Amino acid sequence: MQMTSQIDAGGNNPIFLMFHGYGNDESEMVRILDAVYAPTRADAAPAAIAVPSYISFRATYARPYMGGNYWYPDGCGVDERQRECAAVGDAVASLLDASAFAHRRKILIGFSQGGYLSYRLVKAHPTLFDAAILLSPSFMGEEQAALDSPTRFFLAYGAQDRTIPLPDQQTAHQVLERAGHLTYREYSGMAHAICDEEIADIRHFLHAV
């Protein structure tokens, strides 16, 4: 797996495991995390801003002609999606088995395909991750899913998102709400994207976990 990382090896701050959306690459999630950790007016001084530790992964497949990458083919069946996610999940779990990560909080962040992948990682490894931030994922085919995990979830969509069908959004909300530990947000005027209000809400969510 290809990735980019920034890790304070001697620290005990959380480590973020990040997964981008269809047609993008690992830099997408780094930009999102940089925005979450950017100084705000409420910060006392720049020195008070923590530097996050992260591993941002590049998706398994390169997209021909158009560039970018994807975790599973667009429009593929549920079984194929789950198989592809399971293979990535096993690789990530193996990586996190290193002693350097043993006592650190582990937080998933994924956008779109990467959001669904993050959910499947929790599904397969229900006690491994402390929190998961799912941004505009599709939960197609997960209508009957049951999730038994203490992981805390942040789930968010744009009210104008036409990329993810509304029933798949509703499925995500229902599955995670049944599991408990869910913070849900919807943003008026936002499509399949990220907005400033969402970044602020992610920041608040992280303070709570």
How do residues 109-131 score in pLDDT, each as one tens digit?
A: 999 999 999 999 999 999 999 99
The answer to whether residue 11 scores a pLDDT higher than 60 is yes
pLDDT, tens digit, 9 for 90 and up, residues 126-139: 999 999 999 999 99
Mean of pLDDT values over 150-173: 97
HSE, side-chain direction, 13 A CA sphere, residue 170: 3
Q: How many CB atoms lie under 10 A from the CB of residue 60?
A: 17
The answer to whether residue 47 scores a pLDDT higher than 50 is no
How far lies 189's CA from each of 6, 162, 194, 196, in Å? 33, 12, 11, 12
pLDDT, tens digit, 9 for 90 and up, residues 65-101: 889 999 999 889 999 999 999 999 999 999 999 888 8
Q: Which amino acid is at 45?
A: A
In angstroms, the CA 105 to CA 49 distance is 18
In angstroms, the CA 17 to CA 187 distance is 24
